[in-house]
Structure 1
Amino acid sequence: MIIQLFFYFMHFEKRVFMMAEQKTGRDFAAAELQSVYQDLKSTPSGITSEEAAKRLAEVGPNTIQKRQKESQLKLFAKNFISLMAILLWVSGFIAIIAGTTELGIAIWCVNLINGCFSYYQQRAAQKATDSLLKMLPSYTKVLRNGEPQQIETSQMVPGDVFLLQAGDAVPTDARIIEATSLQVDESALTGESVPESKIAAYHAGEGQFAESNLIYAGTNVGSGTATAITLFTGMATEFGKIAKLTHNQRRSISPLQLELNRLTKQISMIAIAIGTAFFIAAIFFVKYPVAQSFIFALGMIVAFIPEGLLPTVTLSLARGVQRMAKNHALVKDLDSIETLGETTVICSDKTGTLTQNQMTIDHVWLPSKTYDVTGKGYANNGKIQYQGQDITLAQEPDLERLIKVAALDNDTEVQMVDGKAKILGTPTEASLIILAQKAGFDLTQRQKQFPRLKEFPFDSERKRMSTIHQIDSQHARLCLKGSLSDTLKWCPYLLDQGKIRPLTPEDRANIDRINQTYASQGLRSMAIAYRDFDAQTTTDQIQQLSIETAEQELVFVGLVAMSDPPREEVFDAVKKCHEAHIKIIMVTGDSTLTAKSIATQIGIVSDRARVITGTELDQMSEDDLSAALAGEVIFARVAPEQKYKIVSTLQARGEIVASTGDGVNDAPALKKADIGVAMGKMGTDVAKDAADMILTDDNFASIVAAIEEGRAVYSNIQKFLIYILTSNVPEAMPSILFLFSRGLIPLPLTVMQILTVDLGTDLIPAIGLGSEQAEPGIMKQPPRRRDAHLLNKSVIWKAFAWYGLIASAISTFSYFFTNLQNGWPQVPLFSTGYNYREATTMTLAAIVFTQIAAVMNCRTQRASVFSNGLFSNRLIWFGIFFEVALLATLVYTPFLQDLFNTATLNGRDWLFLITIPIPLFLIEEARKFISRKIATNTH
């Protein structure tokens, strides 16, 4: 009993603490502050260091756990156990059994080299990704033992009281104790580009993360200061919950891997079918013994396996990855680059992805005039225009008054560092500072000239901020900015062309109409007003003013309309996506008006597009959502799990989905999508970890380049397949002649010579095809259909019935022509001796030179090779030089002549060989020309 009581008291505190943890953030938000202290067993001065150590041992460090990565051994082994790799292991084993040990070992070496290279590429991409991922802020100021201390963020625990100021990142989910002018950028969680005002008092707000007195890990303080008490840390935070949801998603097999598996099965069936046919023919036509026929058939099976497929695919993807890296796109997995090329739908976030995540003034409205503000972004070289003409403040006293009020009633500072703006404050206030700079307003000088006497910070209840400044020795002025509805009701006066007059009901109606017009355009408006105090108001009286007594009798000056402008490069990127038949769906946490305005402005959708909110989405059935996704649609005010639902529904419709984003709220959708694209600069760690590709410059246009690269990769794999299968036909023809002549025609090509073509002369030109640039017009074609395959009718026709038959005819002719010069048919065909070696050498050489024509012809599928540049692919020309040099080495090196059964070629032989590629190339160019003409006339 005593022991039980001992353990009861030892663990009482832990049980109470764990019970408190079961409460939700909203429970803590609505509770009295004293109750929060009691639940968390904390005080206004924080907890002790000893207590913090105990809690840290219980709940663990305040860190976001990364997705558990595969061991390096498992990652390495995966490169050797794909379906194609297994086929090559089996092929090598069969080749050894068939007596061609050299061929078997060579096939295994190819498999080993490819696997090691694939692992190297994956490891390099993983290292580059890890270097990008930066975790939560390193240090935070907390109250421990009643004193402020600077500690590592990872050491924070529930119950810790900590301090925040402008520029700080919020380290935990917390309840605000005190706040002064606090504004928090929650775009990483909500997608909303405008900072949220936070106060100590509780207001529920609308939607998720809307509580006025709660702040969340992973968000940032834009302005103001605060003291807060930690509620949740690490994976228990909202940030951590979304990360956990992301980690639980399993990555599906990429479309390319599925297609390669299918291709492997197809090639295996073809090879086995051919081997079986040759086995039967060897027994019944040549009268070979069963054992010898079986070994002969195994050799044919090996000959039809494209040993170079895996290296070429890997190198094609690797070259694509390298080119994308130069364009600021980091691909974490090789297959991802091709998957993006198949994309049919892009689900794109708005803030920071399509837009600059920078609030910028577009229009300034005064009762008498409306001004346009040119020069987008945080640049100080823009202009203010009226009716297309640049203006100065000296010409426009009302505009000068508005800018002066907006600039003085401001706590934000914008610093230009290396040509880039660094904001110390909120984007909204920064846009007003930039407006002043564009108008030539010297803010630093004016702040000294008009010192601040008193301020009334912005809060979410009255939605205004005001400051009082000394204008001269006799007068003071209150400068105010805020929402129109909460400002206009306190304005009995209006500034109109330099004169103050009463604000009439007609004026109010007109101002409301203008405000609604801006709202319909997706612009956010802010009202500017002021009040002058007379000379009798002393400084002491001003200091004693309350908000209610100060913010009245205001003079309405005008409206500023602002927006988060689209990225300049996004217009062209969206146009290219549409030309490529790729649908873009905006999925954002921003408002419906803003979302639709941006989407229509940059051309994603038309004015007829449907806007679906998160609330509506919750009420929609899967069938209704699927039907909505068939048309033009925008999703606004959506939560993380809703983005995931959208991606899942699109995939159920058969779409290949790319999802872009930068916030924590984007991570589940990034993981679920066929390819997730995260922003490298603005992106959170969870988003980067979930994504397949990271844009290091946050440039949406890089996605379009990746799509083109991905399409080129798939096309190049098909080109390689045609090229490699083409050589299989003339390689098989000698065996066909041998069989159907019942052994009277000796094999015109030996196994070692077949090996020379498959793993020697063909290899570098094939790799060159893997690095071929995209054909003209590839981005004006629709993505390939899901039921389209690498080995299709067109590939089979070109490889076997066109290129292959021509190559077989030429190589067979070369064999008999050489024998004819050596006295055949008077002299019988021998299977040994110099004449036989000379004939097989010419057969081999003819195949090599037909392959020179084949690799040039395979560079394009429809377009003329000249449109891509005859000499633009240096690797192919190097490959051509290499295969001719390798052939010459085998022909003229004595010990290699014995190994590969070759003989010396004379000048007449070389002259014949050189003439082979040119007519073959020109014939194919003519065929492509006729094909293009027919296609043009058909359309």
Structure 2
Amino acid sequence: MAEGSEKIEEVFADVDSSEKGLTEEQVRERLDKYGMNELKETKKTTTKDVFVRQFKNFIIWVLIAAAFLSLLVEEVINFWVIMVITFIVVMLGFFQEYRAEKAMESLQKIVQPETTVVREGKPRNIKTKEIVPGDILVLESGDKISGDAVVFESVALRVDESALTGESHPVGKGKSEKIFAGTQVVHGKCRAVVVNTGMDTKLGQIAGLIQVKSEDTPLQKKIANLSRSLAILALVASLFTLVLGLVEGAPLEEMLLIAIALAVGAVPEGLPLTMTLTLAFGMRQMAHHKAIIRKMLAVETLGSTDIICTDKTGTLTRNEMTVEKIFVNENIIEVTGSGYAPKGEFLKDEQQFDVKQDPTVERLLQAIALCNNSSLEKRGDEWDVVGDPTEIALTVAAAKADFWKDDLEDSQPRTEEVTFTSERKQMTTVHEREGSLISFTKGAPETVLDGCDRMEISGESVSLNDEKRKHIMDKNMEFASSAYRVLGIAYREDPDMSSEDAIEQNMVFLGLVAMIDPPREEVKEAVSTSHKAGIKVVMITGDNQETAKAIGASIGLFDHRAECGIPAHVNVADEEKVRRIMEDCAVTGQELDELDDEEFEVLADHINIYARTMPEQKLRIVKTLQKNGHIVAMTGDGVNDAPALKKADIGIAMGIKGTDVSKESSVMVLQDDNFATIVEAVKRGRAIYDNIEKFTTYLISRNFTEVILILLGITLLGFELIPLLALQILFINMFSEIMPSIGLGLDPPEKGVMDRAPRDPKESILNRRNLVMMVSNAVVMASAAFLVFISSNPAENTQLARTLTFATVVSMILFVPFAFRSLEKSIFSRGFFTNRVMLGGVVVSFLLTLSAMYIPFLSEVFELVPLSLQQWLLPLGVAFCTMLAIEGVKAVTRGVK
């Protein structure tokens, strides 16, 4: 007996279970006793970690340094005010990051892995965390093993144990051998009884090794580097001004205060905070739309995606297969009814047909029920199904003729199974019947036909000649061209059991089963939206080429014929072969293998459908499209999809039918397996990046407004007449900039966000247009504020002039942030009232700044005087004109990149 093996009878006795699994009462008792099947995190981000992380921000240290410089020159009020405001910045950052951490935890809970178990003799899909000792696991290729268990049934089982042992080669497992939580079934299938869960598993004992350290995304690093660069620039400008003043004989204390004012003016305190909140909110919004972003970098990449490679079944279609036609005895039988309720009739020549009167039809229906791993069970008024939708459709079709899978398996128990693989394209089961063996096979018609030398017609076995083969394949093509998925069905009495290949030779062909999985209603519009957004949609499927083309045509995949046209110059050896493939924008997996890399690079940009492909070919498709300069999103659900998902710029796993490996290899998980959700995620990703551009350009414009304003005052009026003091600048930065910038970060998507080409991934946040806008707007706002200052006769009443200047800069938050809601479109196209967060933030910010002017204690601290209603006309009027000037800058820079 192999290492780790145990007598299965003793195992069942130890865990008080059987092959029929546990009862619901036993499950409840064991959940109370053993707890949930979860690993306890050895290192979790704590509240303290989040708080300490705030002090890794270079900007915070600049503010602290400014505070202590104030203390050095005995400006105690400055010291305390700067420290208080720094504390507010830290706490705001802390609370927002803490909320982001909690949001991420809640997102992780949304995608809860499921496992198939047997309970009370029936297969059930349950949450993995609800597994208890004694449960019976039903595992297939691609499934992650969710508890330590002992195998009692297996078919060609191989397990990847590299997560535990480091051994890269899969390990074969048989009856009575142990399999472990955290490992992966890579081939075959099995049933196993769980013996340990949670922290009692082998994985639980080394749980600390699987904790993953979170890292900042490229986008976060880009923003952090930008903040650091701006802070350094502020320090350089401050030191330069300090040295210049001292050389000209200005007092040290006065110059230090000016240096502090400059440093405070240029530091973008709100940038990291707004970034954190925008990403957290954006990911939360995507989750509400059924797209779970596992890695924040996907947000940045989504806006650049220009090709979406998508599976067909369940993603473009409903994944609700229904058998509608059966080709048997060289005739077509219609099957009525839809969905998974086994209600319907069999019609031949539009007349009701008794399938049990024909032995071949009867045998075919028994074959599709027995060569099948799905289950159908009535629970109350609903039919409960477990399994692959194709197999469920076959089980339901057989049940419509009163051939129930459970009853058939009782009379013809399964003894062997040759599992389906994407390479073999067929599956075979062997059954014992009346003392002998019989095998049933289903799969791709051409593959099944290759293993047949005879066919059965009305109970008689006849030779399968070339004419009959052609007739069958013509009928297959006819079905496929009408969007049907077609399976060939065959059997063999007394099969050769010497090898898997031998079992599937010398078979008798029974017929074709045609089923349809209609496109999702919302997919056609989603494909159209993708085309408008400059995104090409590529279908990759294992189905027949004609079926794929029919589905593609029905959802508008070929709306842009330019995508499919033959290139003007085809520089390849076999031009005719290339032209043949490109005539219908489709290629089969076999044709793909026949293309060399140079030919495929020419073709790749012009192909919309890959049919009869294997998962391994997805990786070649991704690599070639990326080599051609595309940003590729790729969907997948199986183990073999993992390399392509990792290689793709956006790997997208299916949340419903996806394996654990595919989910772990992806950056995005679709909760509903729906193509329209991908398009919605791209739209949201574009909107998030747009918002990052908006608040970044706005914040830096505002910060440099104050820097330019101070430099203008020093240069033109001397060191005595600074338009704003350090505390006034800090107050503006804190209360008049951050809340509007958060409003910009949470701005709803602009109309037309999906009517433009994808963003260049190499493009900087401060691209040429944004840089021009930033500098121009900063100069406009600073000049407007400086004009108010000098027109207020600062030499005569400096405090009033500074108050009017302060009021002007503050008043700009009533108008300017709204101009930044679009960096191209007019403010009047977006409106003032469609972003409630910004509207609320602007009002609250303005009221807070008014308090600094009208509450005596605060006005004394900030050296401001209350203004009369008449005096407010100047700052408000100038602020409004500033907004109009910014609109003019937008008009000039529109279209610049």
Aligned residue among 80, 99, 119 for 1:120: 99
Unpaired stretches in structure 1, ≥5 consecutive residues: 1-36, 53-62, 143-151, 190-206, 470-477, 532-544, 549-553, 820-827
Which of these residues, 807, 811, 831, is aligned with residue 849 of structure 1?
811
Within-5 A mapping of 1:540-579: 559-562=512-515, 567-579=520-532
Match of 1:815 among 789, 792, 800: 789
The letter of the residue matching 2:533 is A
Who is 1:430 aligned against? 392
In the superposition, relative to structure 1, how do residues 591 and 648 fare at CA in structure 2: closer, same or farther (>3 Å)? same
Q: Say if 2:699 is the partner of 1:724.
A: yes
Aligned to 2:74: none
Shift of 1:695: 3.0
Q: Does the 8 A contact of 1:452 with 1:468 survive in 2?
A: no
Question: Which of 318, 329, 332 is matched with 2:280 structurally?
Answer: 318
Q: Which residues in structure 2 correspond to 1:81-120 (within 5 Å)?
A: 85-99=57-71, 100-101=78-79, 102-120=81-99
SS state at 2:724 partner: coil
Q: For the residues of structure 2 that align with 1:395 and 1:138, how far apart are their CA atoms?
A: 38
**Partner residue, 1:876:** 838
In structure 2, distance between residues paired with 1:270 and 1:468: 82
Deviations 1:269-326 (A, max 9, x none): 53244334433542455x3146653552343122101111112112222221232232
- Larger deviation: 132-141 or 688-697? 132-141
What's the CA shift for 1:870? 3.5
Given the alignment, which residue of 715, 720, 724 partners 1:749? 724
Separation of aligned partners in 1, 2:212 and 2:612: 24
Kindly provide the CA deviation profile for residues 689-732 of structure 1, in whole angstroms up to 9, marking residues without a partner as x.
55544333333322322222222122112211232233334423
Deviation at 1:114, TM superposition (A): 1.0
CA distance in 2, matches of 1:929, 1:384: 68
Matched to 1:898, the amino acid is E
Q: Does 1:580 align with 2:546?
A: no
Q: Aligned letter for 2:101?
A: Q
Alignment of 1:394 onto 2:368: no
The residue number in structure 2 matching 1:540 is: none
- Displacement of 1:264 in angstroms is 2.6
Aligned to 1:829: 795
Q: Percent identity?
A: 28
Report the alpha carbon displacement of residue 843 of structure 1 after superposing the two structures with TM. Answer: 0.8
User: Structure 1 residue aligned with 2:779, among 789, 805, 818?
Assistant: 805
Paired with 2:65 and 2:813, the residues of 1 have a C-alpha distance of: 28
CA contact (8 A) 2:159 2:186 kept: no
CA displacement, residues 318-369 of structure 1 (integer Å, 9 cap, x when unaligned): 2212322321233455554344334455565566545555544364446787
Could you list the runs of 5+ residues in structure 2 that have no partner in the other structure? 17-36, 72-77, 122-129, 162-168, 419-425, 497-506, 565-583
Corresponding residue number in structure 1 for 2:827: 865
Q: Give 2:268's match in structure 1, choosing from 306, 309, 318.
A: 306
Which residue of structure 2 lines up, in the alignment, with residue 715 of structure 1? 690
Equivalences for 1:676-687 in 2 at 5 Å? 676-687=651-662
CA deviation string 1:560-582 (max 9, x = no partner): 22366655444443443444344
Alignment map for 1:479-494 (pairs within 5 Å): 485=449, 489-491=453-455, 493=457
Query: Is 1:330 the counterpart of 2:292 in the alignment?
Result: yes
Question: Do residues 780 (structure 1) and 780 (structure 2) align?
Answer: no
- Compute the displacement of 1:628 (Å): 8.0
Within 1, Cα distance between the matches of 2:379 and 2:551? 31
Q: Which residue is 2:233 aligned to? A: 270
CA contact (8 A) 1:482 1:526 kept: yes
Distance 1:714 1:405 in 2: 59
Contact 2:532 2:754 in 1 (8 A): yes
Asked whether the equivalents of residues 456 and 547 of structure 1 are also in contact (C-alpha less than 8 Å), the reply is no
* 2:476 corresponding residue in structure 1: 515
User: Per-residue deviation at 1:898?
Assistant: 0.8
- SS of the equivalent of 1:780 reads coil
Match of 2:250 in 1: 288
Contact 1:525 1:562 in 2 (8 A): yes
What is aligned with 2:24? none
Amino acid at match of 1:808: A
How big is the shift at 1:674?
Answer: 5.6
**Residue of structure 2 equivalent to 1:475:** none
Aligned-partner Cα distance in 2 for 1:87–1:807: 24
- 8 Å contact kept, 2:62–2:231: no
Deviations along 1:721-775, one digit per CA (max 9) or x if unpaired, are 2322333344234422432245376222222221221101222222111111122
CA contact (8 A) 1:344 1:657 kept: yes
Q: Which residue of 1 aligns with 2:850?
A: 888
Shift of 1:809: 3.1
SS of residue paired to 1:559: strand
User: Cα offset for 1:117?
Assistant: 1.8
Partner secondary structure for residue 316 of structure 1: helix
Amino acid at match of 2:352: A
Contact 2:323–2:393 (CA under 8 A) maintained in structure 1: yes
With over 3 angstroms needed to count, the CA separation of the structure-2 counterparts of 1:514 and 1:229, relative to structure 1, is same
What is the deviation of 1:876?
A: 1.8
| Aligned counterpart in structure 2 of residue 341 of structure 1, from 300, 303, 307 | 303
Per-residue deviation, residues 547-569 of structure 1 (Å, max 9, x unmatched): 89xxxxx9988532236665544
Sort the Cα spacing of 1:906 and 1:415 in 2 relative to 1 into closer, same or farther, 3 A: same
Indicate the larger mover: 625-634 or 91-100: 625-634
- Judge conservation of contact 1:735–1:747 (CA < 8 Å) in 2: yes
Please list the CA deviations of residues 227-264 of structure 1 after superposition, one character each: whole Å capped at 9, or x if unmatched: 8899x9999x9x99xx99x9799987523123214423
Q: Distance in 2 between matches of 1:248 and 1:658?
A: 28
Q: TM-score, normalised by structure 1?
A: 0.67
Q: Match for 1:915 among 852, 877, 883?
A: 877
User: What is the rounded CA distance, in whole Å, between the counterparts of 1:756 and 1:706 in structure 2?
Assistant: 38
Contact 1:402 1:557 in 2 (8 A): yes
The separation in 2 between residues aligned to 1:72 and 1:598, in whole angstroms, is 54
Offset from partner CA, 1:778-832 (integer Å, 9 cap, x none):
223333323321223322322322x33332233223223333xxxxxxxx814xx
**Bigger-Rg structure (1/2):** 1
Kept in 2: contact 1:723–1:851 (CA 8 A): no
